[in-house]
Copies of this chain bind each other. A is one copy, B any other.
């Protein structure tokens, strides 16, 4: 699955990894992109799994910058 629009409020996507270290490594790559773009997703990390949640805090909902950021995440993979 790709990005899902949840509650008409945020984008969410699940990424699976073969262990904790690879998931953590992915969090760091997303974190580097987030700092570069100054657009910070909520990141949930558990063993072998990362969930990214994107929305624009200022409007407490989705904006074009979330769509753009999601596309950049996809290109990063």
Do B35 and A46 touch (CB < 8 A)?
no
Measured between alpha carbons, how far is A45 from B40 in the docked complex, in Å?
10
Indicate whether A43 reaches chain B with its CB closer than 8 angstroms.
yes
Interface size class of A (residues with CB under 8 A): 10 to 19
Number of copies of this chain in the oligomer? 2
A65 adjacent to chain B (CB < 8 Å): no
Per DSSP, chain A at the interface is: helix
Residue in chain B with minimal CB distance to A46: B42
In angstroms, Cα B27 to Cα A28, docked, is 9
A34: interface (CB < 8 Å): yes
Q: Give the interface of A toward B (CB within 8 A).
A: 20-21, 24, 27-28, 31, 34-35, 40, 42-47, 57
